[in-house]
Amino acid sequence: MDWIGRSVSEMASALQQGEVTAQALAEEHLSHIEACEPKVRSFLEVFREQALTAAEAVDRKRAAGEKLGPLAGVPVAIKDNICVKGEIASCSSKMLENFRSPYNSHVTERLLDAGAVLVGRTNMDEFAMGSSCESSAFFPTSNPWDLDRTPGGSSGGSAAAVAAGFAPIAIGSDTGGSIRQPASFCGVVGLKPTYGRVSRFGLIAFASSLDQIGPIATDVCGAALTLDAIAGHDGRDSTSAKEPVPSFSDALDQPLAGLRVGVVAEHDNDGLDDEVRQAVAKSVDAYRKLGAEIVNIDLPNAQYGVAVYYVLAPSEASSNLARYDGVHYGYRAEAENGPHSMIEMYEHSRGQGFGDEVKRRIMLGTYALSSGVYAAYYKKALEVRRLIRDDFTKAFESVDFVLSPTSPTPPFKIGEMIDNPLALYLNDLFTIGANLAGLPAISLPCGKTSSGLPIGVQLIAPAFEEARLLRASRMLEQEIGWDGELAGCVSQLAGD
């Protein structure tokens, strides 16, 4: 039976029932990767031998009657900024291209405990800075729906790998939309959990008050099963929340009654693509058909989200990336004409090791934190961040969820925005708010453009309400009926 493109729950059930072995599943996915990965280029490295060894171990344990985790034998891809012991974690940067992690991240540990089979590390925007997977130091990734278009970013390789059928689950990180925007562009489901719900131990930092790890999956069930595996407190991460962790998958198919869905009028602006507008409007109608009350709400400070984010995130990045200096960590430039001075060595190592987008954000952040402008930029951005969070708190007094587009546009062509960073930054317009407020948010497919490109809709929930968020998303997913669309993408890719 062909398992490529099938859902996580289908694979997990078939493995448990003995309909397929973990080794057969791994071999089928690895063969599919070998055949189609050159078109997509979603992986920086495929863990072929490691995956087959892990799959054989799962089969052996199952045959011996040992208790296995919920993802035992399921192929999973992992973003290149999340540490896997013994494997390279480069953040798609020349600065770390030879860094081999001496330990597992918390999320990697949890996945391995659940029996997942890691099939490779995925491409990304360098140090997670980008919205198109084009700032990778190695190569851009293509969108499986249209190979001339971007898969989004920064978790573009993860989203593309799921859409292409290379794995039913991929792990990404989300600092300002880096799970949700590529999920929207690739027609898959992407979940950013509440800040602190999933440990960041072993995630190579971009902006520490915003970064969060989460799943990208073929469907909402897959995202829920993955969150079951990776969520929970971890004492190695000081920001990890000591909140109870329910089973996110147990009640997934139980509809929610009395739903109140908030819609923000300001989101319907001139920058919103017409086909995105129509698809999101159909999602609103779908909830109305399901019995939800649609409530118009106001998020008056949301308009400042992009400006706030592009002060705070680069400021934190400039601090976090200061360690990559050619001495403590990372790439070290060789002296060309005699020995370097220390300053020259720093300059050359960072100048050669970082790409243009990373340099741009480091300079922005260093300036915002500098004496004389700190109060005008960084301090003011923190104050407006609090106002944005307060807007959501007030909105959730009258609604259960906030619904919006995930991205203002469908997938754009590779190279189309590479020389216009401001236009690229505006792709995060609808996703940034959830990061600034630390809230859980999900993107799921809600339709296609006239040219067949996927469109995503976003739901944002109150903090630590992932269980309700996933149930509400499942309701919409079933109403829209996306099941066959992803299979069509995989089939088209394999036939090209």
Whole-angstrom distance, CA of residue 56 vs CA of residue 73: 9
Radius of gyration of the chain (CA): 21
Beta bridge partner(s), residue 448: 454
| 93 assigned to active site | no
Which residue among the candidates 42, 154, 283, 443 is catalytic per the annotation? 154
Q: Is 238 exposed, middle or buried (0-12, 13-18, 19+ CB in 10 A)?
A: exposed
As a whole number of angstroms, the longest Cα–Cα distance in the chain is 74
C-alpha count within 13 angstroms, C-beta hemisphere, residue 192: 36
| 178 assigned to active site | yes
Encoded amino acid at 63, one letter: A
Which residue among the candidates 79, 184, 192, 473 is catalytic per the annotation? 79
Which residue among the candidates 158, 173, 178, 404 is catalytic per the annotation? 178
Would you please indicate which residues are annotated as catalytic (active-site) residues? 79, 154, 178
